[in-house]
Homo-oligomer: A and B are copies of this chain.
């Protein structure tokens, strides 16, 4: 290998590798929505490497197509059969209401909202998983294929349960699991400098912020142990060893392909079986369709502002949309806005509304000046890759934390969508457009993000094949979680030592007092 990267090997034809018996059968259990966007790119790459992919999906899936040239699919009942995308519009409305409240009420409401979402989501997921595992025809069919690996997004645990049921090595394409950042399940996460998902805190915390972080941690712990895990316990005790639970199954993945990069994420402890592959969906910009290119060029020296709110939310409430449109109308820049609602009355001539946009190619266009984004990680890594500063309009989930990370590096501004005004949007946009520090910060992040010995996509592929080749990664899994929590934290050992020290001190005091007493008595008897 010396003096020669694995990259070259990647370019060998699939045919040669097929003949060498290197091509494998992979069972893929994705999470629908924005998570599918990058899973699909990984699957195309694995297909290009010649592997056979089988994807588990719902026939009512939001984004995951029935069998394509890249994979065959198996339809089962999943969450998408009970929930449609309008769920997120309602969730957004409730979140905006919550964010108009003061900090204490906001915290409490946010936790209640999280709890009820988890109860709903994991409730459906556990029901669907039970249906699947009880379906002996399906299970036999899956067993008979003799897969080599399960590749899953553990945001919902159906893939985890399937991998254990089929006794297969398991690789995660992961960002979130149970109540937040996947690291919290696998790596030590001292909450003194590791902010909890949803806390909207950085890694440099004052005392009160650390208190806040602990409260977030405790709430997450309670939700995990008292809401999520019990939902799966009946199913697990029926199909698996009764001594096990979902958490230990989730921890036992062979490899975590973590969609994170410390260019963006605050530095934190990690484990040897975590590989960082953030931004593997990013690629150099391709030429735009002619009409879009013409619109870009018509912006002249001012350039273009790009706005998109991701895959789950098609439009904001009308009054907020009107305010944003009014701010855009006052810019000298052109604006391209992915928007699917009613046309706002304040829309300027400079603003082009589109149903869909080639986001990566637009972000890589030299005329693009600022990206107005909801702060999903896919979009933010694309912005980092192409070095475009961000105006964050975070709406849901981790988006607030994500935008905060770019702000902490001087590469973004953020606005509170629930309360924003036209003036605020305009001021923030002008600041981002006129102050060169945002772009230079983002370009620095871009340089660092692209400075890898192996691209994130090649890295992801290499490690997936590594797990298949070596039939798992037992040698990379730590003994940490075979211990009960009090042993993990050495509380039993420290207690023993404190007792021993206590007895020792007590013995010294006892002997001293006895000696003292005897001496006193002797002296007394002498005096007598």
Interface positions of A (Cβ within 8 A of B): 1-8, 10-11, 187-188, 190-193, 203-204, 207, 210-211, 214, 262-263, 266-273, 276, 283, 409, 447-448, 450-455, 457-459, 462, 466, 469-470, 475-480, 482-483, 487-490, 492-494, 496-497
Q: How far is the CA of A448 from the CA of B467 in the complex (A)?
A: 10
Q: By the criterion CB–CB under 8 Å, are B5 and A5 in contact?
A: yes
Q: By the criterion CB–CB under 8 Å, are A270 and B269 in contact?
A: yes
Q: How far is the CA of A493 from the CA of B271 in the complex (A)?
A: 26
Closest B residue to A271 by beta carbon equals B269
**Which residues does chain B contribute within 8 Å of A187, judged by CB atoms?**
269
Q: How many copies does the complex hold?
A: 2
Interchain nearest-CB distance for A341 vs B (Å): 37
Task: Take A207-B492, A451-B469, A470-B447 as given contacts and tell me if A458 and B5 are in contact as well, using a CB distance cutoff of 8 Å.
Answer: yes
Q: How far is the CA of A120 from the CA of B411 in the complex (A)?
A: 50
Task: Take A8-B4, A477-B267 as given contacts and tell me if A211 and B493 are in contact as well, using a CB distance cutoff of 8 Å.
Answer: yes
Q: By the criterion CB–CB under 8 Å, are A210 and B267 in contact?
A: no
Interface centre among A193, A469, A477, by most chain B C-beta atoms within 10 angstroms, is: A193
Task: Take A272-B267, A458-B2 as given contacts and tell me if A192 and B453 are in contact as well, using a CB distance cutoff of 8 Å.
Answer: no
Interchain nearest-CB distance for A474 vs B (Å): 10
Q: How far is the CA of A459 from the CA of B269 in the complex (A)?
A: 21
Q: By the criterion CB–CB under 8 Å, are A6 and B453 in contact?
A: yes
Interchain nearest-CB distance for A504 vs B (Å): 14
Q: By the criterion CB–CB under 8 Å, are B207 and A493 in contact?
A: yes
Q: How far is the CA of A497 from the CA of B453 in the complex (A)?
A: 46
Q: By the criterion CB–CB under 8 Å, are A448 and B477 in contact?
A: no
Interchain nearest-CB distance for A16 vs B (Å): 16
**From B462, B478, B497, contact of A267 by CB (8 A):** B478
Q: By the criterion CB–CB under 8 Å, are B480 and A193 in contact?
A: yes
Q: How far is the CA of A207 from the CA of B458 in the complex (A)?
A: 43
**From B6, B193, B494, contact of A5 by CB (8 A):** B6
* 28 A–B contacts, CB within 8 A, in A order: A1-B7, A1-B458, A3-B11, A4-B7, A4-B8, A4-B11, A5-B453, A5-B454, A5-B458, A6-B453, A187-B269, A188-B190, A190-B488, A190-B490, A191-B490, A192-B480, A192-B483, A193-B478, A193-B479, A193-B480, A211-B493, A262-B272, A262-B476, A266-B479, A267-B478, A270-B272, A409-B475, A453-B459
